[in-house]
Structure 1
């Protein structure tokens, strides 16, 4: 799956934008609106982490092994035990690395050619579907980041190869991302 996607991309500016071959079934206009960040006691929850299982051949989505949210990054590491896992990707709701933050960790180390993927952000990563504006990479072996407009890797597509930080995903993808894959490609 990954080799065909990245090799078909034509680089335009900082991202490769492709029009989807098949239209995704979850149109952005038909999705329910996401509410504000949840709160726990006095502080708003703005950081969430997900520890993922590697994709295995033929799988479309990584299993979430652990997850949790907290009001600070330090508190978050204690909640999910993420410090012992490999940081893969951080996605942000606002441009320039701000707003609601989701951390992806790999339980079994950095990316291989299959990598890690979430085929439907709406059902897997609470409050980030159609809200991603920037991202930063974690481990350098996860050198390819792919984002799609719709769930199940459908619709418009943006790909970044060998980028470690993207302060703005661009107007074509801003607040539209519904599925993501990170992997290694030589």
Structure 2
């Protein structure tokens, strides 16, 4: 099973890199393989951010005791259909406007749906150009039912207490265009 998962993962990363190398019109890709046990993102902070109207970020699952999911890949395109979104791995979609409108970023979990550990997004603007302080609504998928969002990176600043359950058509006046970090998880 572990070998199959590694081969599957390498195929996804290879396809993402191939898209970036071949220069498919309207698609920008940046990817990296996970780099050991570090809890930080695998893609460096100084790496160029992809740009486009719609983006896709793939995260590594949180392990017990971790609070930051590693970024395994990120891709942006002018059309959402160009992103090859895997519905089985989809955990969250961010939207620029209320009621799930405007520009969007889909977040996938490389190892499937949410569990009690879930995924941690330490800085919404560090992975995709233009997503710092822009989230107004979001949807959750595949057992990712609970979320907390914050106005500062690393789960700092004001938090959305109590825990939010399910989709959120409007994050509220206080959090609108101020969401900077997000924790998302599922029931036990």
TM-score by length of 2: 0.68
Q: Quick check: which one's strand share is greater?
A: 1
Deviations 1:73-110 (A, max 9, x none): 21111xxxx42751100011111212221100011011
Q: Which residue does 1:64 correspond to in 2?
A: 71
* Cα distance in 2 for residues equivalent to 1:84 and 1:100: 18
* Cα distance in 1 for residues equivalent to 2:127 and 2:183: 13
Query: Are the aligned partners of 2:59 and 2:73 in contact in 1 as well (CA < 8 Å)?
Result: yes
User: Superposition pairs for residues 78-89 of structure 1, below 5 Å?
Assistant: 82-83=85-86, 85-89=88-92
Query: Are the aligned partners of 2:74 and 2:128 in contact in 1 as well (CA < 8 Å)?
Result: no
Among residues 61, 73, 80, which one is paired with 1:73 in the alignment? 80
Query: Are the aligned partners of 2:57 and 2:127 in contact in 1 as well (CA < 8 Å)?
Result: no
User: SS in structure 2 opposite 1:152?
Assistant: helix
Query: Are the aligned partners of 2:74 and 2:127 in contact in 1 as well (CA < 8 Å)?
Result: no
Relative contact order, higher structure (CA 8 A, sep 6+): 1
Query: Are the aligned partners of 1:97 and 1:135 in contact in 2 as well (CA < 8 Å)?
Result: yes
TM-score by length of 1: 0.68
Aligned length: 137
